[in-house]
Structure 1
Amino acid sequence: MPPLIPFEEITHHFAEFQHTAFRLETRRGYATDRAGARFQAFVRGTAPAPEPGHAWNVNVRAKAEQGARFSRVRIVDDPPTDGQRFLMATAAGNVEAGEDIRVLPRADAVRLGLPDFDLWLFDSRTLVRMHIDDTDTTIGVELIEDPGEVLAACRARDAALAAARPSVEVWTRVRSSV
């Protein structure tokens, strides 16, 4: 494994990118979500309230006002895990802030040959490959600027965005089935 850097060392990209920031989420859940009170309330049946003042949403709105765009595709199982359902339930606040969040069934992601790891792609130039352990905890990231690897990530992004459906649409269907 290549040397990893702490996630905190790449967070400046979220404020500094000029055009696009794309996230591919491949996990069935994330330790940081499970540890939070919102997740615990969600699994007990309480819908998570939007958080417009959360630093993430404030930044998304600011970048959108500058003409930049956040987007993400979440790969989900059938049926979705509690962690995936939680992410769909919380997406509305992010979408309201200006983020484009879509959902893609895992079978489609496999058929499309998408990466099986989480990533961020900034301005189609900088790839951040996330390394997440078996407990769903981020242990570090790779910062990649190799043109071949970045191009592969751009192609994966384009395929994922084209095939995925808006999170709210999928969440409405999932929510009505539970």
Structure 2
Amino acid sequence: MGRVFRSLDDAEFNRLFTEFRFTAYRLESLQVYDVSYEKAAFELFLSGQRRGEYPGIAQWIDETITPARDSGKLVHRVHVVEEPLSDYVRFECAWAYAHTVSAGEDVRFIPVPSGEWPEGLPRYDYWLFDSCLLVAMHYRDNGEFEAAEILDDPEKIVQANFWRDMAVRRSISFATFAARHDGVF
């Protein structure tokens, strides 16, 4: 076990997103993330405001996506989403992914019926940097962030690469996913 980060604002944790050399990959498995910097924007979304952009996403684009894209690096993610979509996933699509994809992030989805899960993929969130640095993302049942943990076990790193490849193969692009859900977000 390696370093544990208790805050998403931890400077060392955030350096991972600027110091990777080639790829930063995220597997997302939750249908709701309870992140403090999104709360006000999520409430606006729920009240009916559409297609907004909030400071947290603008910062992610300015500090991570744009510099990575301009350096020839790839930031990508696959989100396993249950259908019908949760309000939070609809919010992510409209207020986050629509903007980050336009800026250069490759966001993909594996849609599944509610209560089902893709065979062989974990219900486990993680970041994988350059295929060799694995960071497990730990959340409470309500989606509240608990910790990010660097895992240095070679078997777990290989497994995370396998899951990444499997998820990317099974996924559809944001554009395809958005077209399937036209008007939902």
Q: TM-score, normalised by structure 2?
A: 0.85
1:75 positional shift: 1.0
Structure 2: segments with no counterpart, 5+ residues: none
Equivalent in the alignment of 2:65: 60
Q: 2 CA distance for matches of 1:81 and 1:117? A: 18
Equivalent in the alignment of 2:52: 49
- 1:117-128 → structure 2 map (5 Å cutoff): 117-128=124-135
1:32 positional shift: 1.4
1:166 positional shift: 1.1
Q: 1 CA distance for matches of 2:78 and 2:36? A: 17
Query: Secondary structure at 1:116's aligned position in 2?
Result: coil
Contact 2:26 2:78 in 1 (8 A): yes
Q: 2 CA distance for matches of 1:142 and 1:85? A: 28
User: In the comparison of the two structures, how many residue pairs are matched?
Assistant: 177
Q: 2 CA distance for matches of 1:121 and 1:77? A: 23
Contact 1:34 1:83 in 2 (8 A): no
Compared CA separation, residues 73 and 88, structure 1 to 2 (3 A): same
Between stretches 78-87 and 109-118, larger displacement belongs to 109-118
Q: TM-score, normalised by structure 1?
A: 0.88
Structure 2 residue 136 is the aligned partner of structure 1 residue 129: yes
1:50 positional shift: 4.1
Structure 1: segments with no counterpart, 5+ residues: none
Equivalent in the alignment of 1:31: 34
Contact 1:33 1:83 in 2 (8 A): no
Query: Secondary structure at 2:157's aligned position in 1?
Result: helix
Contact 1:125 1:150 in 2 (8 A): yes
Among residues 167, 172, 175, which one is paired with 2:179 in the alignment? 172
Compared CA separation, residues 102 and 161, structure 1 to 2 (3 A): same
Equivalent in the alignment of 1:76: 81
Equivalent in the alignment of 2:25: 22
Deviations 1:57-93 (A, max 9, x none): 0121111111111000111111011011111213111
